[in-house]
Amino acid sequence: QSVLTQPPSVSGAPGQRVTISCTGSSSNIGAGYDVHWYQQLPGTAPKLLIYGNNNRPSGVPDRFSGSKSGTSASLAITGLQAEDEADYYCQSYDSSLSGWVFGGGTKLTVL
């Protein structure tokens, strides 16, 4: 069981908007630690998608956005495209574990 909780799956039609939640606790997200998001396409290594809660690395489309509030964070994807079909992971730090923690991952299906 992961320290950060994500829904196992979400889906949406092309062009729609979807959100993926990431719920933590007072020892990680709620403690003020940044949340980062990664996209993992099938058979490939994870790729940084959002850093520092709501920042996009160069090359990531502005269709992807992040937010954080309290003990939770969210990833939003607008204008869904077929190539967005992938697994998405949130990540932060946990002070009680003294280590990095990931969410369990969310599989996005584009219908």
Partner 1 sequence: EVQLVESGGGLVQPGGSLRLSCAASGFTVTNNYMSWVRQAPGKGLEWVSVIYSGGGNTYYADSVKGRFTISRHNSKNTLYLQMNSLRAEDTAVYYCARGDLTGEWPPTFDYWGQGTLVTVSS
Residues that bind partner 1 (CB under 8 A): 2, 32-34, 36, 38, 40, 45-48, 51-52, 55, 57, 87, 89, 91-93, 97-105
Smaller CB distance to partner 1: residue 14 or 100?
100
| CB 48, min distance to partner 1, A | 5
Going by the DSSP 8-state scheme, the letter that residue 23 receives in this structure is: E
| CB 29, min distance to partner 1, A | 11
Residues in the chain: 111
